[in-house]
Amino acid sequence: MKPTPAPAAQPAPLSGFFGVFRYSRRALELVWSTNQPLTVSIGTLTVMAGVLPAGVAWVGALIVDAVVAAIDTGNAARVIEYVLLEGALVAVLAATQRGLNLCQSLLRAQLGQRVNVMILEKALTLELRHFEDSEFYDKLTRARREASVRPLSLVMRSFGLAQNAVSLASYGVLLVKFSPWAVAVLLLAGLPAFVAEAKFSGDAFRLFRWRSPETRMQIYLETVLAREDHAKEVKLFGLGRRLLDRYQNIFDKLYQADRALTIRRDSWGFGLGLLGTAALYGAYAWIAVSTVQGLITLGQMTMYFALFRQGQSAVSAGLSAIGGMYEDNLYLSTLYEYLETEVPAPRGALQRGPVPADGVRFESVSFTYPGSTEPVLKDISLHLRPGSSLALVGENGSGKTTLIKLLTRLYDPSSGRVLLDGLDLREWDATALRQRIGVIFQDFARYQLLVGENVGAGDEGSFEDESRWREAAAKGQAAEFIERLPSGYQTQLGKWFKDGRELSGGQWQKIALSRAFMRTGADVLVLDEPTAAMDARAEAEVFEHFRQLASDRITILISHRFSTVRMADHIVVLERGRIVEQGSHEQLMELGGTYASLFTLQAKGYR
Ligand code: ADP
C-alpha cells in the first residue's frame, strides 16, 4: 500500500461552518441543469413547508382566543371557522411534504443516471496511467459508488436547512410581538449546539479523507473474500480467516478514531444542548408568568409555546442536516476532483506519415513509469519493415509489454521517439493510429457478453457483424468450439448472467486470437503471449497462420517458446530494459550468447 497521503487541503478555522456549503452551489447547479421544473417545484415547496407551520401556530392561537371569547357569548361559529382554516393549512402542509418527496424521487433517478454518465464519459477520456494509479482509481470507485444519492442529498439538505431557517424566521416574526428578547433566546439557544455540530462535522470530514487508503484496503479485502474470481484460491489456500482478520483489524483501528470523535461530539452536543434547553425553559416560564399577569392572552401563550417547541425542533433538524451535508460534501469533493482531472488534449491530427512503407521505428527510446525512478526501457532502437515479423524474448519484467505499450501509445516515451511511416506517434490522429495497430495482450479482456461480441470487439465497426465473427473465429481456430456451444455465436458468457457459459483458458485465448483476426485493417499486429495456455504445436500453428495472413504487415510476437520464436524474421533479446542481442535465429545461434543458451536449454527439455 502507498504511504498515507497528507490530509486534503485543510479548511481554514471557522470553515467548520462555511465548509458545509462548499459544494452546495455546485450541487445546486447540477440539479438545476438536470431538471429545471423539478428544481423550481422543490424550491417553492421548500419555502411553503417552511412558512406553513408558523401559520398553523398562529391560527392555533386564534382558536384558543376565540374559544375563550365564545365561552362568554355561547356562539362557536368563529371557532369552527378557525378550526377549518387550521385543518386546511395542515392539509396543505401535508400536500407540500408529499410533493417534496415526489419531486425528490423523480429527481434522484434522473440525477443518479446523469452523474453516472458524467463519471463514465470522463473515464473514456482518461489515459491508462490514470487507471494504474491507486489514488486515482480510488476516486473513481468512490465517485461511482454513491453517484445516485449524494448530489441530490446535498441539495435536499441545503434546502432542508433553508426550510428550517424560513420556519425560524417566521416564528421570529410572530414572536417579536411578544418580545425581541424572546427571538434572541430562540436563536441563541440553538447556537452553541450548532457551532459544535459544525466543528465536529469538519473533523469527521477530515477523518474520512485521511483514512481513505485503509478504507480502500477494506473494500479490496471484501472483494477478495466475496467474489467468484477469487473464491477458488481463497478456499484452497485457506486464506479466508487470515484476510477476514485483517479486515477486522482495519475496522478496529478506524473504529478507535471514530469512537473518540463520536464521544467528543455527543458529549459536547449534549452539554451545549442542555444550555439551550435551559434557556428555552426560562422563556417558557417567562411566557407563563406574562400570561398570569394578563400581559398576553391564553391563545398567545399557546402559540408562543408552540413556536418555541417547533423552533427547537427546527434547530435540531438543521443540526442534523449539517452533519449530513459534511458527508455529502466529502462525496462531491471526490466527484469533482475526479471530473476535473486534467487529461491532455489529443495533440496529433495527422492521418498518414511522410514515408508510407517505412513501418515502425523506435529511436533511442527510454521510458520510466510515472511515479517510478528506475527506467524500464533504456535506449531502444529498432526498425521493423512491413512484411517482417519480430519476436521479443526476455525474462519476466525485462520490458517487453512496456515496449508494446509505447508502440500502441498507451504511454509516451520519456525520451526518444516511436515512429510509424516516418511520423512520430504523438503527431498521429488517435483514431487513425488505433486503426493501424492491433494488439492482443496477455491479460486480454474477457467480456461477459455474447461469444460473438467477444470476437467482434477486435473491430469496433463490426462489433455486431456475425459474418465477420465467423471469418475471424475460423482463422483464430475458435470456430469449432463456438459452433458446439448451445446458442453458437449468440451464447452469453460469464458467471454474472443467467445461463452464462464459462470457457477454459485455452478457449479464451482462441477467442482473443480471433479478435486479433478481426482487425483486417491493421497493418501492425501484436501478440503478447496470448497463446501461453495452448500447447506448443498449436501456438506454432497459430503463429505460422498469422505470418501467412500478414504478408505485408508487421507481426510482433512475445513468447517464451523458442520453437515459435525461431520462426520470426527478427528476434530481439531484452534484458532489464536493454536490447542485448538481435538478429535472425541463425545469427543469434551463431553468436552463442543468451539466446543460444536459452534455446539450447529449452530444446533439451523437449528431447
Ligand atoms: P515483461 O512484459 O517483459 O514481463 P513489463 O514490460 O511488463 O515486462 O514490465 C517491465 C517492468 O516495468 C517491470 O519491472 C514492472 O515491474 C514494471 N512495470 C510494469 N507495468 C508497470 C506500471 N504500470 N507501473 C509501474 N511499473 C510497471
pLDDT per residue over 280-303, tens digit each? 888 889 999 999 999 989 888 988
Per-residue buried b or exposed e for 569-588, using 16+ beta carbons within 10 Å of the residue's own CB: bbbbbbeebbbebbbebeeb
Average pLDDT over residues 489-496: 88
- Cα(144) to centroid of ligand 1, in Å? 28
| Per-residue pLDDT reduced to its tens digit, 522-540 | 889 888 887 777 777 777 7
> Does ligand 1 come within 6 angstroms of the Cβ of 398?
yes
**Residue 96: band (very low, low, confident or very high) from pLDDT cuts 50, 70, 90:** very high
- Average pLDDT taken over every residue of the chain: 85
C-alpha cell read off for 272 = 451545549
Residues 133-145: pLDDT tens digits? Answer: 877 887 787 777 7
Cut 0.85: pTM above it: no
User: Which CATH class name applies to 445-520?
Assistant: alpha beta
Question: How many whole angstroms separate alpha carbon 350 and alpha carbon 362?
Answer: 19
Superfamily for 22-339? ABC transporter type 1, transmembrane domain (1.20.1560.10)
Q: Residue 453 pLDDT > 50, yes or no?
A: yes
Residue to probe by mutation, ligand 1, list 368, 376, 579, most atoms within 8 Å of CB: 376
For ligand 1, say whether the CB of 372 is within 6 Å of any of its atoms: yes
The string of pLDDT tens digits covering residues 206-241 is 676 666 778 878 888 888 888 777 888 888 888 889
Structure confidence by residue, pLDDT tens digits, 112-128: 889 889 988 988 888 88
Domain with CATH 1.20.1560.10 in the chain: 22-339
Question: Where exactly does CATH 3.40.50.300 map onto the chain?
Answer: 445-520
> Which residue puts its alpha carbon closest to atom 25 of ligand 1?
369
Q: What are phi and psi of 420, to 5 degrees?
A: -125, 130
Task: Specify the residue with its C-alpha closest to ligand 1, atom 22.
Answer: 369
Buried b (16+ CB within 10 A) or exposed e, 392-421: bbbeeebbbbbbbbbbbbbbbbeebbbbbb
338 pLDDT band (50/70/90 cuts)? confident
C-alpha 322 to ligand 1 mean position (Å): 47
607 pLDDT band, cuts 50/70/90, is low
